[in-house]
Amino acid sequence: MVFMLLFSMVALLFNNSWVSVFLVMLWVCMNTMLNLNQYFSYSVLYMFSYSSINNLLIFLSALLCVLSIISTPDNKKTFFLLSISFLLLFLYMVFSVSHVIMFYVFFEATLIPTLMLVSYWGYQPERLQAGSYMMLYTVCASLPLLFILLYNCMNQNNMMMFIPMKFYSSFMMILLVYLAFLVKLPMYSVHLWLPKAHVEASLAGSMLLAGILLKLGGYGLIQMNMVFDISGSKSTALLIIISFSFWGGFLAAFMSMKQIDMKSFVAYSSVSHMSLVILGILCDTTWGLFSSVITMFAHGFCSSALFCMTYFTYTKYYSRSIIHINGVISMYPKLSFLWFIFCCINMAAPPSLNLLGEMFIAPVVHSLSMIFLVLMGMMVFVSGFYNMYLYTIINHGSNSMYSIPSYPMKSYQMMSMFSHFLPM
């Protein structure tokens, strides 16, 4: 599969054939889809590992890369397609390798094409500052993890993920191990880079950043639970991280309602949803892991679809401000219907996968504390409120004076949104 991706990139360089890249990404989707029936299986072949979680996240990555190309038909330049191809290659390696140092190398390598999609293909001059924020947060947070991995590998002569390393489990050491992935998810208080990056990124950059790269943080937490045997102080240190993340997710849900820019609105809702993922993974139970993977998979498509909807609305009004956008339902009924569908999915309305993930994570929350369960109920209520608020304020009311007569939704836009909806 790696050789197929490399071959498509070579063909792109010499023939400028974006079709070859597109077909190889579709082939990766189909290949991983055939292996999704292996429930929590795990196998190792040389330096590669294969499991149902790996296959699910590779499928998510490949399909969203395909959808990002479909959603931007006017942007078929070689450098743009190479950035997406390299990103998919690095993601495939991150989700496949069983070597700790190689995992870290490819985990950090995903920042390079992401930085290109944010800083090079963004719309405003502030995109350079947004790219700097993203690099500063992620690189500084992951350097302590590199030193810890190198130290443990040299002392124990073990670099494989499926063999746990002995670990001095103080609170500070646990925090340094998990910090690289908590920033990537991101957890509240280390999330400031995310709204900036989303606001300045291109459509493909926002889709891939929200749909895939946030899931790298969750996958990294899962892998670190395998790599380090830190059960000695889990009951104290991880409970503090879970409590802070959960409370931060509750605050992020409120902060999303204060946003004027629709991209910031969706970005803060992502921070709120990812707090549940952190809780499920750090509980280190099979049920919590299963619910977190479902939530990550559903959120990957839902957040990507919402950024697509934001861009399609922007092409009609040339503004992302919810103050300037009104009456979408009377001018563009198809667009309004899609807003309704994906806002319902984002608030975990039945029968969406988001609802399944939240229902499965509720027993895990209850096992920790009844207070957490009450807080989760309040978070779900606030999530429903801000999604209804977003839909109502932009779709209802009189026609906006900023609206520009335009064509209805095009076929590639409908195809992109249907492809987002189908897995959910």
| DSSP calls for 311-379 | HHHHHHHS--BTTT---HHHH-HHHHHHHHHHHHHHTT-TTSHHHHHHHHHHHHHHHH-HHHHHHHHHH
pLDDT at 124: 76
Q: Tally Cβ neighbours within 10 Å of residue 73.
A: 11
pLDDT at 298: 93
Taking a C-beta distance cutoff of 8 angstroms, is the pair 384, 347 a contact? yes
pLDDT at 400: 63
C-alpha–C-alpha distance, residues 196 and 184, integer Å: 14
pLDDT at 232: 47
40 in helix, strand or coil?
Answer: coil
Q: Tally Cβ neighbours within 10 Å of residue 269.
A: 27
C-alpha–C-alpha distance, residues 20 and 11, integer Å: 7
Per the DSSP assignment, residues forming a β-bridge with 43 are 50
Task: Give the chain's largest Cα–Cα span.
Answer: 68
For the chain, which ranges sit under pLDDT 70? 1-22, 34-46, 75-76, 156-169, 229-235, 400-406
Taking a C-beta distance cutoff of 8 angstroms, is the pair 306, 344 a contact? no
